[in-house]
Amino acid sequence: MEPLWSAPLAFVQPTQPPARWNSRGELAQYAAQQVDAAWAELIRQEDLSAHDTAYYRRSIWMLQITEPRIADLSTFDRAAHCGIDPAILVDDDHTRCHALRAELESAGFTGVLAPSAALPDATSITLFGPRTAAAPHERIPERLRGVYVEASLIAEEALVPARLLTSTRRHGDDHAAFEAWRTSVS
């Protein structure tokens, strides 16, 4: 399976379901700086219990990302400093992130670093729009930065790590890192 969402034909509606940084019909490539955060996203999305994890198998890809312009909202402080309400970055409702994406794109950003909503203290990285996978260590021409991403398959049919079941933030739960930040600034 290809690791990245592509859209080779304009008249074909992408089928990527809406998520935090993409509304219906838009594409986004979702990744995390920590492998645990990628697993936590799966656990949160699928609301997995210890019993469920036995049934899930997942390929894990490592991406080497070199993009023209990434918005760094990786901490709540940075977001607040930019005049963005940090709460929206981890809110269960994604509506305001969709609006923020539109603003970021119009300002020339091709992606965003943000706190992981699923695993407090971890960081997610999202690229806006379609991308194509290049093999590891290929020299991607300058003109194709923002089109190609180096991708290496590092695990196939991997099992969900059970240790993350308790540390993953579930839907409806408070985000521990956000709450700690809010307390520290109030």
Partner 1 sequence: MPMITDATHTPIPDEEIDALQTCALAIGADAENSSSDEARHRRLAAYRLFRQMMIAHARTAEWRANPIVQELLLEVLTLEGDIEADEDGLDPDWRVRENLDRISQIVELLRRNHEHGALDDAPTAARFVVGELAGARDEDIADICGVETRTIRNWRKHQPGTIRVNGDRVVLAAQLIYDLRGTITAPGIARWFRRPRHQLDGRTPLDLMNENIDKAAGPLRDLSRSARGQLAT
| Backbone dihedral angles phi then psi of residue 178, each to the nearest 5 degrees | -70, -40
Q: What b-and-e string marks burial along 110-145, b requiring 16 or more CB atoms within 10 Å of the CB?
A: bbbbbbbbbbbebbbbbbbbbbebbeeeeebeeeee
Q: Which stretch binds partner 1 (CB under 8 A): 9-17, 69-77, 79-87, 103-111?
A: 9-17
Work out the angle at residue 126's Cα, subtended by the Cα atoms of residues 120 and 132, and round it to the nearest 5 degrees. 145
Q: Fill in the per-residue mask, 35 to 74: x = in contact with partner 1 (CB under 8 A), - = not in contact.
A: ---x--xx-xxxx----x-xxxxx----------------
Nearer to partner 1, 42 or 80 (CB): 42
d(CA 164, CA 79): 27
Q: Does 156 bind partner 1 (CB under 8 A)?
A: no
Among 93, 143, 183, 186, binds partner 1 (CB under 8 A): 143
Give me the residues that bind partner 1 (CB under 8 A), please: 1-9, 11-21, 28-31, 38, 41-42, 44-47, 52, 54-58, 117-118, 124, 126, 132, 140-141, 143-144, 147-148, 171-172
